[in-house]
Structure 1
C-alpha cells in the first residue's frame, strides 16, 4: 500500500524508524541522554542505577554514532548529555567513608537540568522537522529499476556559455518496470549516482533556496525503492513513456516518489536535469554545472526570462523524446531498450517544468498527453493543440496570484481533447513534489496534506489520467479525479 515506510538497516545506511524520523541508534542516544538528565530527580533508590546505566548507554551509543557521519540533529543531544554526565555520575559516587558527596541544591540543579533536557529534546524535534526522507513503497505489480544517461544535442548550441561552441547536453534519469530483486539488493540513492554527487546536489539545493546546507543533510543519506540498472521486467510487452521536467532550480529526482509509483504500474519515466537551470548538474566527466537562473525582482524582466527558460526546456523535452525513440529502435544504447513504447508518450512537469511541458506538447505532436503539476504557462504564442491535459494546482486565491488560473484556463481551453484541472485542497506549490517527505510540515511550504498524502494524490491522479489517455482503459476518469479535489473539466475546443 502507498504510504508504507521502511525502518531497517540497508546498504550500510541506517534508515529512520517509522514515526520517529530517527535511526535505532539515534533513538537509543536520545533515550539515554534523557534518562541521564532526569536521574537527579528520581527517587533515591533509583538514582544511582539510572545514572550509571544511562552513562554507559550514552557513552557506547554516542561513540558508535559519531564513528560514522553524525546528523546535525544529534549534536545538541550529545552536547546536553556531555554537560550533565560528569555531574550525574559524580553525584552518585561514594566517598571513602561511604557517605555520598554533597549534592547540588535543587534550586541550582533545576535550571541546569531543564537546559540540558531542552538540548536533548531538540534532537527529536529537529529530526521530525528535517527527516531523512522515507519513500512510500510503490503499490504497483512491478519492481522498479533506475538508470542515468547523458545525451548531447549536436544540432543545438548551448546558449548559456559565451563562446557558442558548446552543444546542449542533458542528464536523464529513467525509472522503469524491473524484475523482482532480492531483498538485499542495493537500492539507489536519492540525489545521485554516487555519494559525491548526492552531497553536491544537496548543497546546491539548499543554496538555491537560501538555507544552510546542513539542514538538508538527510537527503544524501536517503535511499529510494529503485535498484540501479536492474534488469527490465520479464515479458515482451512495451511500456508507455512519461518525460518529466522539474521546477525552476529543481533536479531530475525531485519527483522520485511519483516516478517510482508510475514505474511500478508499467510506465517508463524519464526525468531531466536542465544544465544552467537545475540547481546542480553533475556530468559524466565529473564536472558540475551550477544554475545561472536568478530572478531580478522586476516582474516584466522575470517574465521575459521565464519565457526564455521555458523555450529551452521545451526543446530539451523534444530532444529527449527523440533519443528515447532511437533507444527503443536500437539505434543507440540505453536502458529499457526495445521495451519502451515511444508511440505512447506523455510529457509532464512541475512549476516551470509544467509550463515547458505545455509548450513542448504544442510544438511536438509526438507527445500524446500532458501533465502540468502547478505550472504557470509561459508560452507567448499559445495556440490550439490536440493533446489532453491534466493540470494539478494548489487552491490558488485571486489575491495570491491573480494571473495564474485565468492564464491556465485559457491554455486548457485551447486543447483539442477533453482536459482537466484538479484543485487539491490543502496543497501548496511543493505538495506535488518529494518536498513534504523531508521539509518541515509548514502549510505555506508543503501544504497541509501530511508527509505522504501529497505525493500519493499526485501519483494517483497521474495514473488515472495516463491509464485513460495512453492505455485507452475504459474508466470514469472524472469520478476518479474528483476523489482528490475540486475538478474542472474543459471540453474539446470548438471545431475539433
Structure 2
C-alpha cells in the first residue's frame, strides 16, 4: 500500500478507537479527527490516484468523520467502525500497487520501445495472410538520466493491457486497473552511457500468454550492471500486443490447440517456436543494421552483437533453446523453466555447444504447468548439452516465480502465480544467478557463485553432475 493509503487506514483505526473511549468528549478533538479524515479523503485520490480497492476506505472515512461530528451516536458504534476500517483495508492490501525491486548495479537504467516489421516473413496467425510479421520490442540499457528525469511506467498502454492480464489469470477485467500506478526503475529514452567498449547484449523472450515486461525486475537488474537487454513481444502468443499505430493484436489460443492429439499439438508448438526464433533473428538483425539504417539512434554501433546472451521463460525459454541450437550468434543460454515441448527433434539431438544455465521450478501450477512432464522431455536434451552447464531447481517455486507476476497480490499462490517460496527471495536468487552467468560467459569474468550456487542459496538444488 502507498503512504496515504496507510494513513487512511491508521487514521480510521485511531478515530474509531477514540469513539470507543468514553473520555473523548472534547468537540474540538472530534472536529480535528473529522477534518483529518476529510483531508486524507481529498488528498489521497489527488496525489496518489483513485483505485477501486479503496472504495471501502473512502466510505469508512465518511462514516467515521460523520460519527465524530455526531459523537458516534447516530451512525455506527466505534467498535463497529474499527472493524469496518480493518475490513476496508483488505482489498488494497490484497491487490497493492506494484513496487519493483530497485536494481543493484552501478548504472541508472534507460528504456525505450519500438516496433520492427519483417520485410520477408508473413504473419501466420492473423486473419489476413498478406500481413507482414511485426513485433514490439523494449530495450533496457545503462543510462545517464537528465537531472529531474521521471521514471516511466511498469506497463505501457496499461489501460488496455491490464484487462487482458486479468482475463489471462481468469479474473474480472477491472481487477488490475490499479496497475496504471505501477512505476518502473527505468527512465524513458534517457541518454545511454558513454564508453568506448561495445555493450554486451541479452535477448529475452516472454512466456505463453504473457508480455515483454513480465520480468522487468531482471531486465532492469542486468541493465544496471551494464547490459543492454532486448525483450521481444511475440504477437498472438503474448497476452495482447498494442502496436504503435493503435492496432491491438489479441492473444490467439488456437495457436496451441489444447486437447489435440500429442503429435498435432507438438507440431503446432514447434511452429510457434519457429515463429519466435524468427522474431529473435529479426530483432537482432535490425539492431545490427542500425548504423546504416538509423545512424542517429543512440543504440547504433554501441552493441556487441556477435555473441549475444539468449534467455527466455517457459515458451520463450523453449524458443531461446531452439535459437541457440541453430545460431552461433548465441554466446550463452539461460532458460527459466523452459518449455521443452516446442523444441524440435533436431535441436534436442544437436543440443547446445554454448554454456547454459537452466533454472527450474518444482511446484505444479494451477495454470496447468507440470514440472514432471517438462523434465521428462528435458531428459532428451540433457545428454546433448556439451558446453558448461548448470542445472538448478529452486525449491518450493512455481512457474511464475521467475517473473514480476507474483508481486501482483499476496494471493498469488492461490491464483497459481507462484510457489510457497518467499517472492522477494526468489527474485533475488534469479537476479544474482543471471548477472553472474552472463558476467562469466559474455564478459569473461569468472564468478565464484557459479562454482557453488547452493552455498549462497540453499533454496537451490544442483543436479548438474
Partner of 1:373: 336
Contact 2:67 2:76 in 1 (8 A): no
Query: Secondary structure at 1:191's aligned position in 2?
Result: coil
Report deviation, 1:437.
Answer: 2.4
Partner of 1:137: 102
For structure 2, the residue ranges without an aligned partner over 5 or more in a row are: none
> Per the alignment, do residues 424 and 56 of structure 1 end up closer, same or farther by CA in structure 2, a change over 3 Å counting?
same
Q: Which deviations, in whole Å up to 9, do the C-alpha atoms of 1:346-403 show, x marking residues without a partner?
A: 1111111111111111122211111111121121322313222211111257995432
Give deviations 1:77-118, integer Å, cap 9, x for gaps: 1122333443442237xxxxxxxxxx57xxx955xx555433
Looking at CA atoms only, which structure, 1 or 2, has the larger radius of gyration? 1
Q: Is the 8 A contact 1:78 1:120 kept in 2?
A: no
Aligned-pair Cα RMSD in Å: 2.5
CA–CA distance in structure 2, aligned partners of residues 86 and 468 of structure 1: 64
Deviations 1:36-94 (A, max 9, x none): 333321132456455322211111221233447412221111122333443442237xx
Aligned 8 A contact 1:147 1:335 in 2: no
Cα distance 1:209–1:308, how it changes in 2: closer, same or farther (>3 A)? farther
For the 8 Å contact 1:241–1:345, the answer to whether it is kept is yes
Match of 1:12 in 2: none
Unaligned runs of 5+ in 1: 1-20, 93-102, 491-496
Contact 1:39 1:50 in 2 (8 A): no
| Cα gap change, 1:335 to 1:350, in 2 (>3 Å) | farther
SS in structure 1 of the partner of residue 324 of structure 2: helix
Partners in 2 of 1:297 and 1:50 — Cα distance? Answer: 64
2:349 paired residue number: 383
Query: How many pairs align?
Result: 448
After TM superposition, which residue ranges in structure 1, 4 or more long, deviate above 6 angstroms?
none
- What is the TM-score normalised by the length of structure 2? 0.89
TM-score by length of 1: 0.84
3-state SS of the aligned residue for 1:298? coil
Per-residue deviation, residues 250-271 of structure 1 (Å, max 9, x unmatched): 1111111100100111111000
What is the match of residue 292 of structure 1? 252
Q: Deviations over 1:301-342 (max 9, x none)?
A: 554433332221122112211112222x44445442211100
Counterpart Cα distance in 2 of 1:121 and 1:302:
49
1:64 aligns with 2:43: yes
The answer to whether the 8 Å contact 1:389/1:419 transfers is yes
When residues 336 and 42 of structure 1 are mapped into structure 2, their CA distance, relative to the original with a 3 A threshold, is same
CA distance in 2, matches of 1:410, 1:31: 57
2:6 equivalent among 8, 12, 27? 27
SS at match of 1:44: coil
Return the offset for 1:454. Answer: 1.9
Write the distance in 1 (CA, Å) between the matches of 2:265 and 2:245.
33
| Pair 1:66–1:189, CA change in 2 (3 A) | closer
Is 1:82–2:54 an aligned residue pair? Answer: no
Determine whether 1:121 maps to 2:91: no
